[in-house]
Structure formats: C-alpha cells, structure tokens
Amino acid sequence: MINGIIPLYKPLGLTSFGCVSKIRGIVHQKKVGHSGTLDPNVDGVLPICLGNGTKVVDYLMATGKTYRGAITLGFATTTEDLDGEIVAEQHDFKPLTDAQIKTGLTHFIGSHIQTPPMYSAVKVNGRRLYDYARHGETVKRPQRTIRVTDFYQIGESIVDWNAGTQTIFFEVDCGKGTYVRTLAVDFGRYFGLPAVMSQLTRIASGGFDIQQTVALETLEDAQQAGQLDQFVYPIDHALHAFAHVDLTAEQWMQVQHGAFLPASDLQTTEAEIVLRYNSSDKALYYYDESHQRYKPQKMFSLE
C-alpha cells in the first residue's frame, strides 16, 4: 500500500470525488481520500491522501487555503456562480472605485458567521443541501463561523458597459469551511448589488502551492514507468507544524500500547507533539497539564 500525500492539480469539470476515483485506479488501492472539496467549476490544489495518509486529512485542512478568482457585479444566480440560473439583475449601477473595492473586501477580513449556499455539499438531516435545491425544497441551513485572513484586489477591474457588469479580481486567504462563492455574493450585498463568483482557482492548500501540483495524466505516466514515488509526499508533511520528539525503542514500545508519557521524560510542554521512532512510526500526543504528562491522540505507524 502507498502511504502519503499527492498534491493533485484538479482540472475544471471534474468533481473532487471523481479525482479520488481516478487516483484509486492509478495507484490500485481503495484507501484514498481528499482534503477539502472543490466544485467542478473550480480548479487548483487538491491534496490527495493515500493509505495511512488519510489519517492526516484534518491537519491538512487546518492549514488554511488561498484562492484567486473574480467577482462579477450586476447579476446573481441560484448557485452563486456562473452555473446557476439568474435570479436578480441590476445593470445601471455606477462602477466601484478601487478605494471602494478595498473597503468592501477588507470588511470581510476576520471571523464571520456564514450561511452555506443551497447548492453545496453540506448535509442537513442526512441529505446534501444541493439535493434539496435540485428538488425545489427549502431547509434551514446551519450557520458556521469562518475566518478570512486576507482579502484583496489584484489588478484592475473590468467594466463591461454593454452588459452592465463589473468584474473584480481578488485573492483570499481563508480557513476551512469558507464558501468563496458566498463571500462574492456578500461582497456585492455590501454595496447593495447582485453578484456572483465568476472564476475561482485554489492556489494553495494543505501546505502545497499550485506550482507543486501534478496532473492526473502525469501520475498515470509515472505509474506506468514505476516512478510514482517522486510525486508522493510523506505523511509528516501534514505534521510539520508540530514539535517532533525522537523516542527510544523502549519508549516507542510504550507508545504502541497507548501509554501516557511524563513530560519530564520528553523535555517539552508543547500542547501537541509528534513522537517519532523512525521515518515510518509516529504518533501525535497532547499535553495533559493537570498531570504533567502526554496522552495519545492519533497513531501514524504505517501498515
């Protein structure tokens, strides 16, 4: 079994699950997952976890994501992007200045409550929201707290006087669970204008940037040539933010049996640490301050 992470370039038109299915066919194993869904009309970085790499999905997602895209003012759609039906139009507005755009984007930096769009994969009562939407049903959507670290304009906006639209190009750094489509709509709403997300590319996720990604076709060729390993990053890539402590053989034996370890033996009091016996055997432990010892959180030993 292959264990690790592949920074895949997800092409337009393919679902994230479709990417997982194709990777399963390439590596000939079922234990494959992704860290963060991308809509079919969004391309970019999609970290794929193989084997025991699936255990670090949460840690990859916790690193945050960066997107580059476009917001078009002048109309709104059911899906908050260009795939949906138009539900509102306003084409006689005065185009926003760069100063106004900066004010609007900056407004969304920080923590906010966001309601996911109806056309999304969020589950309510066991059903995806997009399933309700496709059947014309309404349901109360769960709100979530999102965090936007940065949100700013890149390049000049484009005004289409014939169509009565203005397209603004942006880059955004945000945490897990953020719907950039909804950010685009909310940006327009801030100015009292209908808006859609008209283009989006994820340029960074899970500690990978788009320059590090590899295409499905390249992976297929590498597998046939017996060179797939060069595109597989170790599981430890997702754990680099944690302090690492090397263990003796005796300590590792204790860890394998779920033992608690005194902080004095490990000479650290970090909140979470990776205990390492060799390149393959690792475990994530958390600090129990009240008892001054470390307790097991997750094992990453290879099968």
Per-residue CA distances from 298 to 30, 112, 155, 226 (Å): 21, 31, 44, 32
For the chain, helix, strand, coil in percent to 5 are: 25, 35, 35
Q: Which tokens hold the place of 207? A: 């500690």
Q: Which tokens hold the place of 169? A: 């190009």
DSSP class of residue 214 equals B
**For the chain, counts of helices (H) and of strands (E):** 8, 19
Closest CA to 69 of 185, 231, 219, 189: 185
Q: How far apart are CA 74 and CA 13, in angstroms?
A: 25
Closest CA to 36 of 25, 46, 23: 46
Closest CA to 168 of 190, 201, 199: 199
Q: Which residues lie closer than 8 Å to 177 by C-beta, 6 or more apart?
A: 114, 144, 146
Query: Which active-site residues does the annotation give?
Result: 39
